[in-house]
Structure 1
Amino acid sequence: MIRKFSTKNPAKTKILILGGGFAGSNVLREIQKQFKGNDAEITLVSQDNFFLFTPMLPEISSGMLHASDITNPIRTFCKTANFCHARILSIDVENKGVSVIRIFDQKETVLEYDYLVLALGSKDNFFGNRNIEEFAFTIKTLEDAIAIRNHIVSVLECADQERDPVLQEQLLRFVVVGGGFAGVEIATEINHFLQDATKDYYKNIDAGKIKTIIVSARDGILPEVGEELGKFALDHVKKSGIEVITNTKAVDAGEDHVLLSDNTIIPCATLIWAGGVTVDPLVAALKCEHGQSGRLVVDQYLRLKDYPSIFALGDCANLVDLKTNTVYPTTAQIAIRQSKLVSENLIAEVKGNPNFMQPFVYHNRGVMATIGKRTGVALVNGKKIHGFVAWVLWRTFYWSHLPTREKKIKVGFDWLLSLIFRADIMTVGFIKKKTLSRLETPIYSAIERGIDQTQSVSSYL
């Protein structure tokens, strides 16, 4: 039975935020400062009950950081707002309702809204290739990072015991598809871990036989940082022992190989996909104007053109930069800036001051990436920086954007420990998870099942 949820105070404006990532959690925190629970009822919906600091996911895969270092319970952000731990089933833009299903007991509810904020992020795009989707690891979620971590350690354990040199080399071949930020950073991070772990723990593995491969569809890597820095990154990555295959795509895969567009077959036990993203299926299904990769076309105030009470931002928003005539990319920096503007415009709208709304203007201060041990590239205000300084800039920038002081301390401490101690090669293991398919009030459940109420209910109440 689907239950319709209505606010306890109908006089309050109902603001519903879908998504707990950079965009959604920042909107939540900003509008709470203004309303403080008096003028609006704010609810955030997410199927994860934590905020994930995604730029540091590769460091979870290598074991440099722990999962708790880059996650914050969303409820710690909810000073006056409500949090709904649920999966979104559908969005009814005509009747202003969002159907959700509770994670634990699968109970469906419809949440009403006056204003809706769509911050659902993006999903991995496999371009319809079911084999790659089945056999490749991805690097979008915390579970992804932990899965890669466990898999790599398990592969090393297996390779250390393998006496067939051909099979051992196949086990020690790691393929990463994607030459952008995600692909390069995960490839360089796990390569560093593999070299250190082999040297310290696995006496039957020759570190020279470890082969990390980046497959890039472009003529190089990291096109976002420009040609000069991209070439520096490519040269450095190759010097660190990583093979880079350019102008090539992965077109098929199995559990023990990857097929490339030039008909090359790479025997391997590990495939990591960082080859592109697309919008959440819920966003793609909305009956409104869509743009690049299914993203929602918004006006300069980040509202849907046909539904001014709906704001969209981050990875699901299609907004054209009028200076370059290109769509803004899907980066955490842009999502953070858009969340600030959406918050201000939403507050102006709710308070009846639409003339105070501001258009989105983004001044790109720079982009940066890590490309190996204590090495990075950065393009900051047009200045090209590479090497150790760029690596420090990357760490400083993202460390400063961790949401709480506690996480800053934990991350800083773990970074310090990684300089002193050897790599951790422990796997997390498998965790049993329980869910309910049915949860009813005891008295009604007993009546429905025809059980004597005194036997089934009263003895436990």
Structure 2
Amino acid sequence: MSVINCNCCDLVFDSESKYYAHYIGIHKSTSPSVKKILILGGGFGGINVLNKIEKKFQNESIEITIVSDENFFLFTPMLPQVASGLLHPSNITIPVRYFCKKAKFLHASIDSIDLEQQLVTIQRSFDNKVRTLEYDYLVLALGGQTNFFNNKNLEKHSFTMKTITDAIAIKNHLIVMLEHAAQTGNYELQRTLLTFVVVGAGFAGVETVSEINQFIKKSISKSYPTINPKNVNVILISAKDRILPELNEKLSEKATEFIEKDRIMIIKNTKAVDADEENVQLSNGGKLSCATLIWTGGTKMDRVISDLNCEHGLGGRIIVDGSLRMKNKENVFVLGDCALIKDDSLNSYYPSTAQHAIREGKTVAENLLLTFKKQNKLKKFTFHSLGIMAIIGERVGIATIAGKNITGIPAWLIWRAYYISKIPTFGKKLKICVDWLTDSILARDVTLVGSIKKKEIHSIHINENMPSIKEQLMSNN
């Protein structure tokens, strides 16, 4: 008997007549007047577009679908605090379905995009089932991937800091290193186990190395009396002549002062060029013995973005016009990490930050509404950064706001106040505040969470004559 899968949903049919009846009745019943808006990506860009258009399109005949390979929105600015055990992972993740008041959410990865046919092929991770989605308007808000610059050894032996899984993996690994170090009296082995190297001195690298340093020091002090703190080496590697190149030179120097005061070693004008299980090879000819290497050294575009038949620019990002539309594709909007957006006022490009993605989302939503109203003049995207902030130690931060440099506890408080205000739900805000409060009075948790089994299902066939669960249970009695 032949089996036919419906490419639009999860059903399987044992005859063509049943399949066509289903397809015509279900998938072709939508009126052509109902326009389909498809959003790809559940990060800051995609979620903010979704929020805005659900409010703006109250009286419009539209069908909104958002697709993401994670079923949650991740608040990435607080990711290093999960790696250090300061915050619980669930406190910085919000289910995408929370934002779907009118929209439909599909948990799947993007396989390909056909701009000519206006089709997007997606693949469900649960059973690898592939289906195709039609769209009238497409919003591309896909994030970047970690770039190892084709170095397979660095990729194999490094941790990354992009996802919530990365943060959890790093925390678990740090605890394993502490446990192993606590059980050896060999000085050289303990020093290797307690050497932690972070590559990349941008915001992700600096905040990660600072959080790791705090976690290691506090954990040894409270829970590992057999470890000699002098054997701990936390190292930050910068390819440039200073850290945090996004900041002005004066503030960068102040950040360096804070970090080095916290006994973090900074190696400048150096790149990590190779690695194995216990060593990192540097471009200056040196070699570091370490069991922990964390890579925050670069970003590249996802294959789906790279393969698109459109104009690409710096870093493989998609070149867009002032209204955030793909060139020569008036129904495709691009924002976030995958968009290359020109800042005409500075003759440069806007950075890929959360605050820019949020504002880009607002512009895309407004332009979608103008397009629906058949207006030719769309809104141009312009945005000047509200400021730049980072936490670089215990109750220590740096910030530049409205051209003014702020350091120490005031910057640390501003960072916390600003980002807690951006957390989408009150419940998550409250949980984060509780985590921050308990951290100030209690020791960090060094519980090691082991690997979790995941069941894989490659296909499920539906039999229309299958008895109900109740009938199945009754037949077994």
TM-score interval, normalised by the smaller of the two chains: over 0.9
Q: Which amino acid aligns with 1:316?
A: C
1:420 aligned to 437, 441, 448, which one?
A: 441
User: Per the alignment, do residues 36 and 432 of structure 1 end up closer, same or farther by CA in structure 2, a change over 3 Å counting?
Assistant: farther
| SS of structure 2 residue aligned to 1:222 | coil
> How far 1:326 moved relative to its partner?
1.3
- Please say if residues 49 and 74 of structure 1, whose CA atoms lie closer than 8 Å, have aligned partners that are also in contact: yes
- Identify the residue that residue 45 of structure 1 maps to in structure 2: 67
- Identify the residue that residue 462 of structure 2 maps to in structure 1: 441
User: Per the alignment, do residues 8 and 229 of structure 1 end up closer, same or farther by CA in structure 2, a change over 3 Å counting?
Assistant: farther
User: Per the alignment, do residues 107 and 263 of structure 1 end up closer, same or farther by CA in structure 2, a change over 3 Å counting?
Assistant: same
1:246 aligns with 2:232: no
- Identify the residue that residue 77 of structure 2 maps to in structure 1: 55
1:25-58 per-position Cα deviation (integer Å, ceiling 9, x unaligned):
1111110012248521000001111010000000
Q: Which amino acid aligns with 1:378?
A: A
- Identify the residue that residue 298 of structure 1 maps to in structure 2: 320
> How far 1:442 moved relative to its partner?
2.0
Q: Which amino acid aligns with 2:452?
A: I
> How far 1:420 moved relative to its partner?
1.1
Q: 1:37, 1:271 → 2: CA distance?
A: 52
1:217 aligned to 239, 252, 256, which one?
A: 239
| SS of structure 1 residue aligned to 2:166 | helix
Moved more, 239-248 or 273-282: 273-282
| SS of structure 1 residue aligned to 2:440 | helix
Q: 2:28, 2:265 → 1: CA distance?
A: 57
Q: 2:71, 2:338 → 1: CA distance?
A: 20
- Please say if residues 258 and 265 of structure 1, whose CA atoms lie closer than 8 Å, have aligned partners that are also in contact: yes
1:85 aligned to 90, 104, 107, which one?
A: 107
Q: 2:435, 2:146 → 1: CA distance?
A: 29
Q: Which amino acid aligns with 2:217?
A: Q
1:3 aligned to 1, 7, 24, which one?
A: 7
- Identify the residue that residue 184 of structure 1 maps to in structure 2: 206
| SS of structure 1 residue aligned to 2:454 | coil
- Identify the residue that residue 297 of structure 2 maps to in structure 1: 275
> How far 1:267 moved relative to its partner?
0.5
- Identify the residue that residue 452 of structure 2 maps to in structure 1: 431
Moved more, 38-47 or 292-301: 38-47
1:266 aligns with 2:266: no
> Matched residue pairs, number?
451
User: Per the alignment, do residues 24 and 145 of structure 1 end up closer, same or farther by CA in structure 2, a change over 3 Å counting?
Assistant: same
Q: 1:319, 1:7 → 2: CA distance?
A: 37
1:141 aligned to 139, 163, 166, which one?
A: 163
1:309 aligned to 323, 331, 335, which one?
A: 331
- Please say if residues 37 and 80 of structure 1, whose CA atoms lie closer than 8 Å, have aligned partners that are also in contact: no
For structure 1, the 5+ residue unaligned runs are 445-452
| SS of structure 2 residue aligned to 1:282 | helix
User: Per the alignment, do residues 254 and 80 of structure 1 end up closer, same or farther by CA in structure 2, a change over 3 Å counting?
Assistant: same
* Equivalences for residues 39-188 of structure 1 within 5 A: 39-188=61-210
1:376 aligns with 2:397: yes
| SS of structure 2 residue aligned to 1:223 | coil
- Please say if residues 2 and 110 of structure 1, whose CA atoms lie closer than 8 Å, have aligned partners that are also in contact: no
1:339 aligned to 361, 367, 371, which one?
A: 361
Q: 2:441, 2:224 → 1: CA distance?
A: 20
What's the C-alpha RMSD, in Å, of the aligned pairs? 1.8
- Identify the residue that residue 41 of structure 2 maps to in structure 1: 19
Q: Which amino acid aligns with 2:207?
A: E
> How far 1:299 moved relative to its partner?
0.2
User: Per the alignment, do residues 7 and 254 of structure 1 end up closer, same or farther by CA in structure 2, a change over 3 Å counting?
Assistant: farther
> How far 1:8 moved relative to its partner?
4.5
1:322 aligns with 2:344: yes
| SS of structure 1 residue aligned to 2:357 | helix
User: Per the alignment, do residues 80 and 7 of structure 1 end up closer, same or farther by CA in structure 2, a change over 3 Å counting?
Assistant: farther
Q: 1:41, 1:368 → 2: CA distance?
A: 38
Q: 1:347, 1:412 → 2: CA distance?
A: 37
- Identify the residue that residue 35 of structure 1 maps to in structure 2: 57
- Please say if residues 37 and 81 of structure 1, whose CA atoms lie closer than 8 Å, have aligned partners that are also in contact: no
1:57-93 per-position Cα deviation (integer Å, ceiling 9, x unaligned):
0000011100111010100110010000111110111
User: Per the alignment, do residues 272 and 37 of structure 1 end up closer, same or farther by CA in structure 2, a change over 3 Å counting?
Assistant: farther
User: Per the alignment, do residues 37 and 273 of structure 1 end up closer, same or farther by CA in structure 2, a change over 3 Å counting?
Assistant: farther
> How far 1:105 moved relative to its partner?
2.1
1:228 aligns with 2:269: no
For structure 2, the 5+ residue unaligned runs are 10-26
1:396 aligns with 2:417: yes
Q: 2:349, 2:303 → 1: CA distance?
A: 20
1:411 aligns with 2:432: yes
Q: 1:191, 1:313 → 2: CA distance?
A: 34
- Identify the residue that residue 196 of structure 1 maps to in structure 2: 218
> How far 1:4 moved relative to its partner?
4.2
User: Per the alignment, do residues 94 and 237 of structure 1 end up closer, same or farther by CA in structure 2, a change over 3 Å counting?
Assistant: same
- Identify the residue that residue 363 of structure 1 maps to in structure 2: 384
Superposed structure 1 runs of 4+ greater than 4 Å apart: 4-8, 458-461
Q: 1:20, 1:2 → 2: CA distance?
A: 25
Q: 1:174, 1:212 → 2: CA distance?
A: 5
| SS of structure 1 residue aligned to 2:331 | strand
User: Per the alignment, do residues 109 and 379 of structure 1 end up closer, same or farther by CA in structure 2, a change over 3 Å counting?
Assistant: same
Moved more, 287-296 or 361-370: 361-370
- Identify the residue that residue 18 of structure 2 maps to in structure 1: none
Work out the percentage of aligned pairs sharing the same amino acid.
Answer: 48
Q: 2:140, 2:410 → 1: CA distance?
A: 37
